[in-house]
Amino acid sequence: MSAETAIAPAEHPKKNRIQVSNTKKPLFFYVNLAKRYIQEHDEVELSALGMAITTVVTVAEILKNNGLALEKKVVTSTIGMKDETRGRLIQKARIEIVLGKTDKYASMATPPSARAREKEALANKEEKKQ
């Protein structure tokens, strides 16, 4: 006899999701990573639990205030987790913020030196036409 079992596909993490920790990496690591994800995927999903929520909010605000991202969605919730030390179930706050690319992103995310080279190349191109 053969027994067939249905195997559920493994859940693949989203390619544009950043799970933020407030202890593992410095703030601007997440800011720069989020910029790269926005550039590659046109949006980024930042998520955090508990005390790392302030880090996610700060990263989102830095990107928004610099004109690099627009807030698309904010979801808050609580999840039950097992406390490692006491072995009991505790509630943890959770946040997910989805940011999208702004229209200005391309010009603002390009470093000033690269913008200067682009302008110079464009000027040289215009001169050659004349």
- Are the C-beta atoms of 40 and 30 separated by less than 8 Å? no
- Looking at residue 83, its pLDDT comes to 82
Q: pLDDT per position in the chain (130 positions), as tens? A: 434 333 334 444 678 899 998 888 999 999 999 999 999 999 999 999 999 999 999 999 999 999 999 999 999 999 998 888 888 899 999 999 999 998 877 666 555 555 556 656 666 555 555 5
pTM surpassing 0.75? no
- Looking at residue 130, its pLDDT comes to 54
Reduced 3-state DSSP string for the chain: CCCCCCCCCCCCCCCCEEECCCCCCCHHHHHHHHHHHHHHHCEEEEEEEHHHHHHHHHHHHHHHHCCCEEEEEEEEEEEEEECCCCCCEEEEEEEEEEEEECCCHHHHHCCHHHHHHHHHHHHHHHHHHC
- Looking at residue 9, its pLDDT comes to 40
- Looking at residue 37, its pLDDT comes to 94
